[in-house]
A = this chain, B = another copy of it.
Amino acid sequence: MKAAMTATSTGVEHVNGNANVTSRRNGQVETSSPEVTSKNHPARKYRHVAAVHSKTRPSCLSHDAEAAPSFIGFRNLMVIVLVVGNLRLMIENLQKYGVLICLSCHDYSRKDVVTGLLLYFLVPCHLFAAYLIELAAAQQALGSRKRIKDGATGPSEEDRRRFHSTWVIVAWAHAVNITLGLAITTYVVYFHIYHPLIGTLTEMHAVIVWLKTASYAFTNRDLRHAYLHPVKGELVPELYTSCPYPQNITMSNLVYFWWAPTLVYQPVYPRTDKIRWIFVAKRLAEVFCLSVFIWVATAQYATPVLVNSLDKIASLDIPSILERLLKLSTISLVIWLAGFFALFQSFLNALAEVLRFGDRSFYDDWWNSESLGAYWRTWNKPVYTYFKRHIYMPMVGRGWSPMASSLAVFTLSAALHEILVGVPTHNIIGVAFLGMFLQLPLIAITAPLEKMKLGKGGKLVGNIIFWVSFTIFGQPFAALMYFYAWQAKYGSVSKRAMAPK
Q: List chain A positions with a Cβ less than 8 A from chain B.
A: 1, 3-4, 7-12, 15-16, 18, 22-23, 25, 27-28, 30-31, 34-35, 37-38, 42-62, 69-82, 84-85, 87-88, 91-92, 95, 215, 218-219, 221-223, 225-226, 231, 233-240, 262, 264, 266, 269-272, 319-320, 322-323, 326-327, 329-330, 333, 341, 344-345, 348-349, 357-371, 373-374, 377-378, 385, 388-390, 392-394, 396-399, 402, 405, 447, 450-451, 460, 463-464, 467-468, 471-472
Contacts and interface: CB of A to CB of B under 8 A. Distances in A.
Copies assembled: 2
B57 A393 contact: no
Given A59-B345, A62-B345, A82-B81, A34 B362 contact: no
A227 to B, nearest CB: 11
Contacts of A357: 53
A115 B322 CA distance: 49
Given A31-B373, A238-B16, A270 B1 contact: no
A111 B392 CA distance: 80
A266 B11 CA distance: 17
Contacts of A75: 75, 78
Nearest to A368: B73
B38 A397 contact: yes
Residue of A27, A78, A319, A362 contacting most chain B CB atoms (<10 Å): A27
A42 to B, nearest CB: 8
B74 A367 contact: yes
A359 B225 contact: no
Contact of A237 (B12, B91, B349): B12
A360 B59 contact: yes
A188 B10 CA distance: 48
Contacts of A4: 394, 397-398
A348 B358 CA distance: 62
A270 to B, nearest CB: 5
A405 to B, nearest CB: 8
A439 to B, nearest CB: 15
Contacts of A52: 262, 264, 266, 359, 385, 389
A244 to B, nearest CB: 12
Given A44-B234, A56-B271, 15 more contacts: A3-B399, A9-B231, A11-B234, A30-B374, A31-B447, A31-B451, A45-B234, A50-B389, A52-B266, A59-B344, A59-B363, A80-B464, A80-B467, A87-B326, A88-B326
A218 B48 contact: yes
Contacts of A402: 34-35, 38
A460 B49 CA distance: 38
A408 to B, nearest CB: 13
Contacts of A73: 365-369, 463, 467
A62 B329 CA distance: 27
A360 B49 contact: no
24 contacts: A9-B231, A12-B237, A30-B374, A30-B377, A34-B405, A44-B234, A46-B226, A47-B394, A48-B221, A48-B222, A52-B266, A53-B262, A53-B357, A53-B359, A54-B239, A58-B360, A59-B362, A60-B361, A69-B364, A70-B368, A72-B463, A73-B467, A77-B471, A82-B85
Contacts of A10: 233
A388 B323 contact: no
B394 A84 contact: no
Given A27-B370, A236-B46, A378-B25, A358 B55 contact: yes
The 3 closest A-B pairs by CB, nearest first: A56-B358, A73-B367, A51-B237
A187 B368 CA distance: 60
Nearest to A33: B388
Residue of A47, A58, A88, A218 contacting most chain B CB atoms (<10 Å): A47
A474 B240 CA distance: 66
Given A48-B221, A222-B46, A272 B56 contact: yes
Given A48-B222, A52-B266, A359 B57 contact: yes
Given A34-B402, A53-B269, A81 B468 contact: no
A234 B9 CA distance: 6
A49 B240 contact: yes
Residue of A218, A357, A362, A389 contacting most chain B CB atoms (<10 Å): A389
